[in-house]
Amino acid sequence: MDPPAKLDLKKDKGLTIEWADGTTSYYSITYLRRMSPSADMRQLREEMAKNPLTVLPAGTGGSGPLTATGAELVGNYALKITFSDGHDTGIYSWVYLRSIDPELSGKR
């Protein structure tokens, strides 16, 4: 998959991606954190799918609303985002970001 034409991260709001094909995707910071491709978050989403009463782990970072504290490109295929709760192990490939687009998947 081609890399995006443009990335626009508003650390307190969300990530807007303009794809090479001209389409645009928007991901809120909380959605990106919840959908992190890291192993621990994948496992948590699987547990939540089986049991909707699964208790979410408490954040390890500071108080206040969740924000992105930084982002960096990983090669030419992905974006690594660091969150204010300390989570920084998810690497969001362009393919993964397209697959979780809230507009296409009906999730927000």
Q: Is the predicted pLDDT of residue 108 greater than 50, yes or no?
A: no
Residue 41 resides in a domain: yes
Show the tokens assigned to 5.
């034409």
CB 18 within 8 A of CB 6: yes
Q: From the CA atom positions of the chain, what is the Rg in Å?
A: 14
Residue 1 resides in a domain: no
Average pLDDT, the chain: 89
Tell me the percentage of the chain whose pLDDT exceeds 70.
89
Number of domains, the chain? 1
Range name among 19-28, 61-70, 86-95 with the lowest pLDDT average? 61-70
For residue 48, the model assigns a pLDDT of 86
Q: Is the predicted pLDDT of residue 83 greater than 90, yes or no?
A: yes
CATH of the domain at 41: 3.30.2020.30
Residue 22 resides in a domain: yes
Residue 77 resides in a domain: yes
Residue 82 resides in a domain: yes
Q: Domain range holding 16?
A: 6-52+60-105
Q: How confident is the model at residue 36 (pLDDT cuts 50, 70, 90)?
A: very high
More confident residue, 108 or 32: 32
Secondary structure letter of residue 71 according to DSSP: E
d(CA 106, CA 85): 26
Q: Is the predicted pLDDT of residue 11 greater than 80, yes or no?
A: yes
d(CA 96, CA 42): 13
